[in-house]
Amino acid sequence: MAIPQSFIQELLSRVDVVDIVGKYVQLKKGGANFMGLCPFHGEKSPSFSVSPTKQFFHCFGCGKNGNAIGFLMEHAGMTFIEAVKDLAQQTGMVVPEEQQSPEDRAKAAAAKAKQDSLSDVLEKAGDAYRDQLKIAPHAIDYLKGRGLSGQIAKRFGLGYAPEGWRSLASIFPKYDDPLLAESGLVIVNEEDDKRYDRFRDRIMFPIRNIKGECIGFGGRVIGSGTPKYLNSPETPVFHKGRELYGLYEAREALHSAGYVLVTEGYMDVVALAQLGFANAVATLGTACTPDHVQKLFRFTDSVVFSFDGDGAGRRAARKALDGALPYATDVRSIKFLFLPAEHDPDSYVREFGQEAFAEQIKQAMPLSRFLIEAASADCDLQTAEGRARLSSQARPLWQLLPDGALKQQLLSELAQLIQLETAGLEKLWGQQAASEQRYAPAARSAAAPQPQSANTAFSQAASAGHDAYPQFEPHYGDPQAWSGSNTFVPSNGNSSWKNKNPNWTPGSKLGNSKYKREQPPVYTGPRTVPASRADHAARLLLGNMALWESLAGQDHAMLCALPAPHGPLFAWLESVFHEQGALSWSTLSQHMQGQPFAEDAQRWVAQDRINNVVGSENATPPDPQEARQELRRLVNMLMIDHLQQLKNEALAQYQSDQDPEALARYSSLDKRWRELKASAHLANLP
């Protein structure tokens, strides 16, 4: 089988060669790299080096070298495919099984060429923004007012996006080049195809990957405009959940300082570098993810998260805790620094000095203490109920920790707070986890096989729509009637007589009667209306907002015209997409707070997890191609329904002589309706 090169690159970006090699070789930190005795030849002095930065191993004695895949092939005797599958299993990725065809290879080559082209476009824009900064006095004054020097601005490649709506047209002669929109530099209005610059009158922070290539931008507004910070949208070269601002510039400082300082914004990173803390990085307008933490631990064993002391800072720290727990091994240090609410790192250093800030970092809260603090939120430990609540809130956090001494020590501390024996608490949590998995919907389905899978049933329900399922509430507990007529007609057809009771059925063993009463079904709660096509389409778009681009303008118009809550949601999604690009569901849900469709959106997204087993929610990410095909199918069905409604309206207008052109319009709509059904192979659907 041929594995796409894009998959190999993605796989290597998710694994850490130090972790892979460390399972077979005892490694010790030696400067920027890790050293150990070479597993490929006998030696007494370590000459085997593993670089977390380059994700590469090399033996200075025998010359063996390579990446994580090469190490498994050389050391474990695996074939290439076996090594890829082994690593993929460790990261939860699924190896593509299809034999790569010439067309697939051509597509992969085209994708690589597209990425290179996007990088070239972004680099060119970055050069233009830097040139604009030189001739923008108010932008220069703003940076000077923030205490930044020309030297630090040059180091980070800061620039300025002018106020004009189409300033980039002077840089790119072909302003309608699709690459400008794909790179996130230009926004295209789908309705009238008008184009305009995404970034206007903003200080520009180029975002670089670890290779130093420009992959996106962050724009800070000058003055009081909104939003304060505007980021590039998700593109083939830019993924907010994986990249960290300033990591490329901080590489050397991380080794000398011995730790990385994770802050909340671009300006914090640049200002701290100006003030002597060049080892700072920042997330890109999103919560800290496990991918962020994994990438940081390739460069250092110590991470300090710095957040404001206000509510927003605490919430950000809580999310960072979730992302950091799986990587909190016994040899790594993770701390949380909370500054006073009135300060950010920049202002604190300027007011109190470098030494005071360095002391704050030393006194930062260890991960173990913050975990207990987060788990103890709203728990009255003076009561049994409060301690039980602590147990419930601590378990999912504790279970994220890797096995080791830290995990066992935290179990003991939590057991003391909950007032249980350590072994008893561990046993209780194990029982609770097993119970949750046993009674999860997917587990019950597996234990009692059904004629069709739950996913198939859900898909059919989504295809049927609301109309196929009348909304009703059954009267459980009432005698259930025997299906069929209450009048019995003998085979000779000469007489008829009433059943003694319509609720009696054949087979009774009581006396000579031929009927028995059926037992009423057990009440299982109210019926829920199956998801409609619009529900399902909303769920797909909320879970993968980038799918919006796969739809045509007429699809957008149809979705936005749907009745509430779907239509207003799709219209809101369209506006957010044009302004900020494709956002993750976690970010979308935060922006959506206060919107009238917010609760419906939460419910639709939750339907996607109805069959997940506890602990496996993120085991395998959904296939984007399958999601696009499913969305296309749903939108086609919604369009068919929409055309049918328009046909009915046109026919009614024709029959009432209200519109002389109604018949022609009906014929045109009917032709389109039939074509769409045929193309989608939906002629057999209602």
pLDDT digits (tens, 9 = 90+) for 204-257: 999 998 778 899 999 999 877 778 888 999 898 898 888 999 998 987 788 778
Confidence tier at 607 by pLDDT (50, 70, 90): low
List phi, psi (to 5°) of 107: -65, -40
pLDDT the model gives residue 580: 63
Query: Of 375-384, 431-440, 584-593, which range is least confident?
Result: 431-440
Query: What's the Rg (C-alpha) of the chain?
Result: 31
Tokens 């796969």 — which residue?
A: 550
pLDDT the model gives residue 494: 46
Whether the link from the prior residue into 565 is cis, omega within 30° of 0, is: yes
Output the six-digit token pair for 392. 């419930």
Are residues 257 and 232 in contact, defined by beta-carbon separation less than 8 angstroms? no
Of how many residues is the chain composed? 686
Confidence tier at 481 by pLDDT (50, 70, 90): very low
* CA 24 – CA 365 distance, rounded (Å): 33
Confidence tier at 478 by pLDDT (50, 70, 90): very low
Name which of 271, 190, 115, 32 is nearest 578 in CA terms: 190
Beta bridge partners of 50: 34, 57
- The average pLDDT across 614-640 equals 68
pLDDT the model gives residue 464: 36
Check residue 100 and report its DSSP letter: P
pLDDT the model gives residue 637: 84
**Percent of the chain clearing pLDDT 90 (strictly above):** 29
- The average pLDDT across 482-500 equals 42
Name which of 682, 658, 538 is nearest 602 in CA terms: 538
CA-to-CA separations, 482 to 3, 329, 490, 503, 518, in angstroms, rounded: 59, 64, 18, 5, 8
Output the six-digit token pair for 53. 């930065």
pLDDT the model gives residue 410: 94
Confidence tier at 443 by pLDDT (50, 70, 90): very low
Q: Express each pLDDT in 540-554 by its tens digit.
A: 888 888 887 677 666
Beta bridge partners of 262: 281, 305
Q: Which of helix, strand or coil describes residue 537?
A: helix
Task: Kindly give, in sequence order, each residue whose CB lies less than 8 Å from that of residue 407, ignoring residues fewer than 6 positions away.
Answer: 398, 401
Query: Of 191-200, 220-229, 501-510, which range is least confident?
Result: 501-510
Q: Express each pLDDT in 285-308 by its tens digit.
A: 778 888 889 888 877 889 999 987
* CA 121 – CA 171 distance, rounded (Å): 10
* CA 637 – CA 532 distance, rounded (Å): 11
How would DSSP label each residue in 40-93? TS--SS--EEEETTTTEEEETTT--EE-HHHHHHHHH---HHHHHHHHHHHHT-
pLDDT the model gives residue 336: 95
Beta bridge partners of 517: 504
At position 326, the amino acid (one-letter code) is P
pLDDT the model gives residue 473: 33
Are residues 296 and 290 in contact, defined by beta-carbon separation less than 8 angstroms? no
- The average pLDDT across 49-55 equals 88
Q: Express each pLDDT in 101-157 by its tens digit.
A: 677 667 767 777 888 889 999 999 999 999 999 999 999 999 999 889 999 999 999
Name which of 374, 380, 304, 375 is nearest 345 in CA terms: 304
Name which of 328, 331, 288, 329 is nearest 306 in CA terms: 288
Q: Which of helix, strand or coil describes residue 238?
A: strand
At position 125, the amino acid (one-letter code) is A
Beta bridge partners of 49: 35, 58
Q: Which of helix, strand or coil describes residue 639?
A: helix
610 or 338, which is more confident: 338
Residue 70 pLDDT > 70, yes or no?
yes
Query: Of 192-206, 287-301, 586-600, 615-629, which range is least confident?
Result: 615-629
Query: Of 204-218, 331-345, 415-429, 573-587, which range is least confident?
Result: 573-587
Task: Kindly give, in sequence order, each residue whose CB lies less than 8 Å from that of residue 652, ignoring residues fewer than 6 positions away.
Answer: none
Q: Which of helix, strand or coil describes residue 108?
A: helix
Contacts 24+ apart (CB under 8 A), 45-48: none
* Max avg pLDDT among 7-11, 389-393, 610-614, 625-629: 389-393
678 or 334, which is more confident: 334
pLDDT the model gives residue 297: 84
pLDDT the model gives residue 345: 87
197 or 77, which is more confident: 197
Residue 318 pLDDT > 60, yes or no?
yes
Are residues 60 and 49 in contact, defined by beta-carbon separation less than 8 angstroms? yes
Query: Of 356-360, 421-425, 593-597, 649-653, which range is least confident?
Result: 649-653
pLDDT the model gives residue 504: 46
pLDDT the model gives residue 488: 41
pLDDT the model gives residue 100: 55
Report the chain's mean pLDDT, rounded to a whole number: 78
- The average pLDDT across 464-491 equals 36
Check residue 297 and report its DSSP letter: T
| Ranges of H-type helices in 377-500 | 384-400, 405-418, 422-438, 441-447, 454-464
- The average pLDDT across 499-519 equals 45
**Three state DSSP letters for 304-340:** EEEEECCHHHHHHHHHHHHHHHHHCCCCCEEEEEEEC
Are residues 241 and 316 in contact, defined by beta-carbon separation less than 8 angstroms? no
* CA 86 – CA 81 distance, rounded (Å): 9
Query: In this structure, how many other beta carbons lie within 10 angstroms of the beta carbon of residue 146?
Result: 14
CA-to-CA separations, 276 to 21, 89, 106, 270, 344, in angstroms, rounded: 35, 42, 48, 10, 15
Beta bridge partners of 308: 339
Q: Which of helix, strand or coil describes residue 488?
A: strand
Q: Which of helix, strand or coil describes residue 457?
A: helix
List phi, psi (to 5°) of 341: -55, -30
Q: Express each pLDDT in 142-153 by its tens digit.
A: 999 988 999 999
Query: In this structure, how many other beta carbons lie within 10 angstroms of the beta carbon of residue 86?
Result: 15
pLDDT the model gives residue 439: 62
pTM: 0.56
Alpha carbon 37 to its chain centroid, in Å, reads 40
* CA 658 – CA 651 distance, rounded (Å): 10
Whether the link from the prior residue into 227 is cis, omega within 30° of 0, is: yes
Alpha carbon 200 to its chain centroid, in Å, reads 28
* Max avg pLDDT among 75-84, 445-454, 474-483, 597-606: 597-606
pLDDT the model gives residue 684: 44
pLDDT the model gives residue 199: 94
At position 233, the amino acid (one-letter code) is P
